[in-house]
């Protein structure tokens, strides 16, 4: 039995050309270690799957919600971002089928999440090529769009800065303000440490190569603190 048979059963999709599905799991690094296998890595098919995913999600949001473009764009981003697709990959146990180099297999959590998200897009591309648009749409609807109600309910579609402002105004009736606490490094490679305050209380700190990046990190830290409703200082 093909080792991917169980996976196909789990998806409810049975490929005519199993090599398309096999390709979805092949990372470039694996071929660097096995150059004589004559296989193709998943980047091209992932490129196709990414386009199909964006079309299906965009079409669904447009037809389902009357909201302005800004809302729809943020919701789409939340659905297709690396972290969301990596969660889908974990649910489907995709990592069991990865073909990676030894180095990539030992990579950090961020690297693994990116590989997982790319594999989901590659599976979409493989499904589209082998089964057509409707089956690819079904996969996306069942495993990705189905997560939208939770995203809308929890507000995770917002960037941390927008979310923290909403929570702070609701809880304290105040708008957060951001202050540069430190600048380090040369002008061409400066790191900004930013603090976010509600009133006079510091709720979070963050660092980044730009003030905006530091603000987002500070807001993310502040959101964690607000769970306990305690300022940093």
Residues that are catalytic: 50, 121
**Tokens 């987002």 found at:** 216
Through-space distance between the first and last CA atoms of the chain, rounded to whole angstroms: 61
> Within 13 Å of residue 231, how many CA atoms lie on the same side as its CB?
12
Rg, C-alpha atoms of the chain: 21
What dihedral do alpha carbons 126, 129, 130, 134 form, nearest 10°?
Answer: 100
* C-alpha closest to that of 119 among 29, 25, 21, 3: 25
Helix (H) or strand (E) holding 115: helix 109-131
* Residue 202 backbone dihedrals phi, psi, to 5 degrees: -85, 125
Rounded Cα gap, residues 160 and 170, in angstroms: 15
How would DSSP label each residue in 123-149? HHHHHHHHH-HHHHHHHHHHHTGGGHH
């Amino acid at each position: 039995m093909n080792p991917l048979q169980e996976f196909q059963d789990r998806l409810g999709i049975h490929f005519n050309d199993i090599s398309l599905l096999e390709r979805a799991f092949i990372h470039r690094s694996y071929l660097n270690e096995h150059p004589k296998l004559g296989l193709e890595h998943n980047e091209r098919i992932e490129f196709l799957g990414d386009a199909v995913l964006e079309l299906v999600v965009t079409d669904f949001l447009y037809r389902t919600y009357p909201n302005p473009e800004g809302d729809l764009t943020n919701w789409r981003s939340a659905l297709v971002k690396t972290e969301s697709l990596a969660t889908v990959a974990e649910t489907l146990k995709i990592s069991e089928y990865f073909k990676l180099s030894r180095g990539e297999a030992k990579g950090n959590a961020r690297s693994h999440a990116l590989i997982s998200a790319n594999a989901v897009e590659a599976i979409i591309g493989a499904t589209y090529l082998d089964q057509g648009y409707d089956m690819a749409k079904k996969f996306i609807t069942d495993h990705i769009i189905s997560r939208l109600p939770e995203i809308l309910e929890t507000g995770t579609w917002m960037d941390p800065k927008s979310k923290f402002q909403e929570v702070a105004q609701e809880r304290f009736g105040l708008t957060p303000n951001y202050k540069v606490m430190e600048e380090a490094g040369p002008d061409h490679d400066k790191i900004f440490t930013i603090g976010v305050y509600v009133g006079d209380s510091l709720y979070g700190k963050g660092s980044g190569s730009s003030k905006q990046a530091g603000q987002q990190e500070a807001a993310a830290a502040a959101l964690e603190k607000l769970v306990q409703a305690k300022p940093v200082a």
